Chains A and B, each alone.
Chain A
Amino acid sequence: MIADHLPVLVVVLPLVGAFVTLLAGWADRRLCFPIAMATTVIQFCISLLILSQVMQTGPLHYNLGNWLPPWGIEYVIDQLNGFVLVVILFLCVLTCLYSHRSTPSEIDEKKIPAFYTVLLLLVTGVCGIAVTGDLFNLYVFLEISSLAAYALVALGREKRSLVSSFTYLVMGSVSACFILLGIGHLYIVTGTLNMADLARVLPPLYGSTVIQTAFIFFIIGLSIKTALFPLHLWLPDAYRYSPSAVTVLLSTVVSKIGVYALIRILFTVFTPAFIIFEIPVMEVFCWMAAAAIIGGSVLAISQTDLKRMLAYSSVSQMGYILLGIGIADSLAVTGGILHILNHAVMKGCLFMIAGSFIYSSGIRSIEDLRGIARTMPLTAAAFVIAAASMIGIPPTVGFMSKWFIALGALESGQWIFVLVILASSLLTAVYFWKVIEYMYFREPGTVCAGTVSTARDPPAGMLVPTLVLAAACILFGIFVSIPLEVIEPFVTGILGGT
């Protein structure tokens, strides 16, 4: 019985959870965390069930309120969103656990219920995006998650949190605007909003200027959402000034769901035939992604603040995912989708570590981290693992996805992108090595000597999720076949075999 309703449960559960959290928060603030935690854990279990069903029986279709598509809203889960759902919920669970210890030190205590409520609303939004098969429904959930994200960023104590939240809001709204315009254009021409239906109706209309404009609007809107260079301007400040747990969520869950939406629209609503052969947009898109890879790395090198550096690194890494998708070769797309998981794991780990440094010592600047590896050995070790993975040293996860993307670029004859990937690996090594050098090989500086020497590895509540992600960096690198098994059927489905 219940098994039939899993797709909708995964969305409804956090929505209900959010209200329960709010009500419970009035009674006792301490109840919020267990409720949010329980909600995300149950959701994670549901997502695993869904994925296993999808792997066994193929895509799940669920008609909301028993309205038949294309009139009613349809939830469709295939291998891609099954995979993305598991990844983002896995990170939601870990972040929720992490936030229990990290958040109270970063926001006002009375805002804790609000924090967990908004967090669950954000989860509602991203899960909704992940499961829906309806374009307008996707937009609605995108707005829910975005609004929740703006609110979460604004929860930070610093004044600039508000400013950066506002910048984020402006850019996010512009993005939503473009997406809505795109949807509107499609609806005007086709009269339908169901993705599968659109895919069926669109091909004869590919020559239409309206459709092409709609496509461009989608690209622009989602480029802002995924912070594709040079539209990343909102990202560094939003990441820098939000509470640590929020940064983790933004960098792993929110950014990844944007990529998911992009893939969905590029490959399911439109088709590879359209985006590759019909209009030359993807070429521009690839160059943007290449510029993001290099530009993000270069900007990351110039940073002195650890979280900002990681934020720019995210810009660069999102470039990898988008490059993989933009090349639209089956290997490259596999690499790009794999990088969704990999980047979520690595960057989640790194932002958790940055949060741990702030929690234990209050240090935000890279230069003040001198010698901290002696007092926070586990955290520093996790950083090294995640950094190695970012650089792409085998057998870590980062290597596998870069490898696939590079192979795909070679296969489609675009060797210049291979050079870009190589160059960026070097640049990545530069800025991560700088941090590792400060942590391990420098004597504590005079200014921060006290804080560094009294710093300790954070409490288990923060350390465990960090270490789990660091271990995942290596485990998924070695057992890369597990995610590949899920991804490959999808890629084969849309691009027809490797």
Chain B
Amino acid sequence: MTDVMIPPALILIAGALLVPFLNGQIRRLYVPAISLAALGATLLLAPGMECNIPALHGYTASLLHVDTLSLVVGYIFAFAGLLALIYARDEERAGHQVASLLQIGSGLGIVFAGDFFTLFVFWELLAVSSVLLIWYGGTPGSRDAGLRYILLHIFGGGCLLGAIVISVAATGSFVVGPVQPGLSLLLLLVAIGVNAAFIALHVWLPDSYPRSTVAGAVILCIFTTKAAIYLLARTSPGAEGVAYMGGLMVIYGVVFALLQNDVRKLLSYHIVSQVGYMVAAIGIGTALAVNGGIAHLFNHILYKSLLFMCMGAVIAQTGRSNLSELGGLAKKMPVTLVTCVIAAAAISGIPGFNGFISKGMIISAAAEAHLSVLEIVLIVGSVGTLLSFAKLTYYTFFAKNEGIEAREAPLPMLVAMVIAAACCILYGLYPALLYAILPFPVDYHAFGLSHLAESALVIIAAAAILFLAAKLFMPKDKNVPEFMELYRYCGNGFVWFCTGPLTWLAGALASVQDRIIKGLAWFVTNPVVAGHILVLAAVTPLAGWFCTKDQAAAFTQSLDKKMVAYPGDHELIQGSGYGLFLVSLLLLVYFLVVFINY
């Protein structure tokens, strides 16, 4: 069936353009309504649907190309986008709302894009709207982080464009799918790596998300990394190197998360870690693994946006974001506490919550593919995750801190949080709901004995560590070294190089160029006279050799005179005698050229 449908992305983007023209009250309802309409449009899609718009020179922009893979990601993007907008109801700045809608729209655009060029446009739009959301954080820190964000994503976008161009040039096909191996694939992986926060390219994520607005962080955490996972699954599943990169991300993210004090920074490192699971899954590439990766994407969006919502609520209510300053909120913010615990359980893979299902799928896929090192890494990652969320929950809600005044979050926030939490539990208890929409048929028993045992092992290990070394996890006020520092040193070095040696070189070149230009400008003001002067200047030194002193002096004088009089009369009428001389000269030239052979 190839029915023509309205691409959900267009609803959101067109809707976003209208936002500035509406006043505050209407806007509050309008923004979620647009998102709801997009969700509706997404739900109406079915595999096989297409929407192609003819563009230049036989190139057709394929805005809608639906299959099972894009559909499941599309569902969760549209749904989580709606939740995030409900959560963000009190965020009334028009620009923020526009950026939010654009963010959701470009996320859906990427997912349903049928050709690489459309995908690239949405990919860039996603980066731009992300930067807006970061800048709305409003602090100098967020401004700088936004700049760093856009620098890195421009690099990523450039790599993507390069990959697309090379691949299209080689194959002639714009269809989003596996690209030409070689340079094209490498560039594509770098582009995906930037967005999916591959280690070494991940620096933007913990740098910028904590500095965004409360509502902005919720929206940000949904799209950028997951869109990259989607593209990875679509273009290059089953690359072993990628799988190990996923493993590295899991461990790296967890370790750095454990060291953090800022709650949203902690969550940001957990994005790196959780996305690592998905990267590992896609890297393994079997049907079970891809299913697991996509399921994890689905679940992760639910609980990670919920976590950002909870911590956003805490920050919004207390004005504090460091674990060492928080505490004792359990009684004051009970709903937040409960939803946060649910989310923490989900992300840690406790049976009965949705994270358990998909994480289990990925780990067993690793086992089936005999990647035992990876399997162990993934399990160890789970332990770390559980530890860090124990830490987060404890120090936010239970640690003793009497000095905090706070009330429960406002209703729209709570509604979004409760719905998200309910989904975490729903998909945890009835995984079949999720299996039904995964790209491949599922033959997986989530609550098998081995999985439960594995889970129990993780919990016991975490409990043991907590029991033995609880002190280690005390939040500390000191700064944790970050990868970004390295880039900043390199960047500063580069800036020094540019301002120092390079500027000197440029100055030297410019002065040479300046002299040339001045000379040319002098010459063209009156080329005829200038020519005379040049010839005279060349001849004058010779005059000293061949002429008497007086003659030479006269020569020099006439040169000086001409120099002073320069540029002289523009309206000089050139006599016809001059012309006849030139005619004869040319005639001679032609005759010489033609008859020199005879």
Contacts and interface: CB of A to CB of B under 8 A. Distances in A.
Interface of A: 160, 163-164, 166-167, 170-171, 174, 209, 212-213, 216, 219-220, 223-224, 230-231, 233-234, 237, 279-281, 283-284, 288, 298-299, 301-305, 308
B31 to A, nearest CB: 42
9 contacts: A167-B576, A170-B579, A174-B580, A220-B583, A233-B579, A237-B573, A279-B593, A284-B590, A298-B527
A279 B574 CA distance: 33
B593 A281 contact: yes
Given A171-B579, A216-B594, A231 B570 contact: no
Contact of A160 (B573, B574, B580, B589): B573
A429 B583 CA distance: 31
Contacts of A305: 570-571
A279 B597 CA distance: 10
A302 B591 CA distance: 33
Nearest to B580: A174
Nearest to A223: B586
A254 B587 CA distance: 23
B4 interface: no
Given A299-B527, A302-B526, A170 B576 contact: yes
Given A220-B586, A223-B586, A279-B594, A302 B579 contact: no
Nearest to A163: B573
A216 B591 contact: yes
Nearest to B571: A305
Contacts of B594: 212, 216, 279-281
A166 B575 CA distance: 10
Given A212-B594, A281-B593, A302-B527, A164 B582 contact: no
B489 interface: no
B595 interface: yes
Interface in B57-109: none
Q: Give chain B's interface secondary structure class.
A: helix
B470 interface: no
A308 B598 CA distance: 43
Contacts of B524: 298-299, 301-302
B578 interface: yes
A279 B590 CA distance: 10
A234 B587 contact: no
Contacts of B595: 209, 212
Nearest to A173: B576
Given A298-B527, A299-B527, A280 B593 contact: yes
A427 to B, nearest CB: 9
Given A171-B579, A301-B524, A233 B574 contact: yes
Contacts of B578: 233
B573 to A, nearest CB: 6
A369 to B, nearest CB: 16
A58 B485 CA distance: 77
B525 interface: yes
Contacts of A167: 573-576, 579
B580 A284 contact: no
Given A167-B573, A279-B594, A234 B579 contact: yes
Contacts of A279: 593-594
B576 A233 contact: yes
Nearest to B586: A220
10 tightest CB-CB pairs across the interface, nearest first? Answer: A170-B576, A233-B579, A216-B590, A301-B524, A233-B574, A167-B576, A302-B524, A279-B594, A230-B582, A302-B525
Interface string B496-539: 00000000000000000000000000001111000000000000
Interface in B317-354: none
A284 B591 CA distance: 11
Interface in B541-595: 567, 570-571, 573-576, 578-580, 582-583, 586-587, 589-591, 593-595
A223 B580 CA distance: 13
A226 B261 CA distance: 83
Contact of B583 (A164, A224, A288): A224
Given A231-B583, A298-B527, A302-B567, 13 more contacts: A160-B573, A167-B576, A171-B576, A231-B586, A233-B578, A237-B573, A280-B593, A280-B594, A284-B590, A298-B524, A302-B570, A308-B570, A308-B571
A219 B590 contact: yes
Interface in B376-428: none
A264 B576 CA distance: 28
A281 B589 CA distance: 10
A496 B583 CA distance: 34
- Among A216, A231, A280, A302, chain B packs the most CB atoms within 10 A around the CB of A302
A170 B582 CA distance: 13
A386 B587 CA distance: 36
A11 B525 CA distance: 45
Contacts of A223: 586
Nearest to A212: B594
Contacts of B579: 167, 170-171, 174, 231, 233-234
B593 A284 contact: yes
B530 to A, nearest CB: 9
A492 to B, nearest CB: 27
B523 to A, nearest CB: 8
Interface string B174-202: 00000000000000000000000000000
A160 B525 CA distance: 23
A166 B579 CA distance: 13
Given A231-B579, A233-B578, A164 B573 contact: yes
A304 B568 CA distance: 12
B432 to A, nearest CB: 61
A304 B570 CA distance: 8
Nearest to A177: B583
Nearest to A215: B594
A159 to B, nearest CB: 11
B590 A174 contact: no
Given A170-B579, A233-B574, A234-B576, A220 B526 contact: no
A207 B591 CA distance: 15
A283 B589 CA distance: 12
A304 B567 CA distance: 12
Contacts of B583: 174, 220, 224, 231
Nearest to A174: B583
A65 to B, nearest CB: 37
A129 B139 CA distance: 78
A447 to B, nearest CB: 17
Contacts of A298: 524, 527
A264 B573 CA distance: 33
Contacts of A288: 586
Nearest to A288: B586
Contacts of B590: 216, 219-220, 281, 284
Contacts of A160: 573
A299 B593 CA distance: 28
A206 to B, nearest CB: 12
B504 to A, nearest CB: 28
A233 B574 CA distance: 7
A301 B567 CA distance: 13
A174 B579 CA distance: 10
A178 to B, nearest CB: 8
Contacts of B582: 230-231, 233
A202 B590 CA distance: 21
Contacts of A220: 583, 586-587, 590
Contacts of A299: 524, 527
Contacts of A281: 590, 593-594
A298 B523 CA distance: 9
- Among B524, B526, B576, B590, chain A packs the most CB atoms within 10 A around the CB of B590
Nearest to A279: B594
A281 B594 CA distance: 7
A453 to B, nearest CB: 27
Nearest to A240: B571
A158 to B, nearest CB: 11
Contacts of A302: 524-527, 567, 570
A185 to B, nearest CB: 14
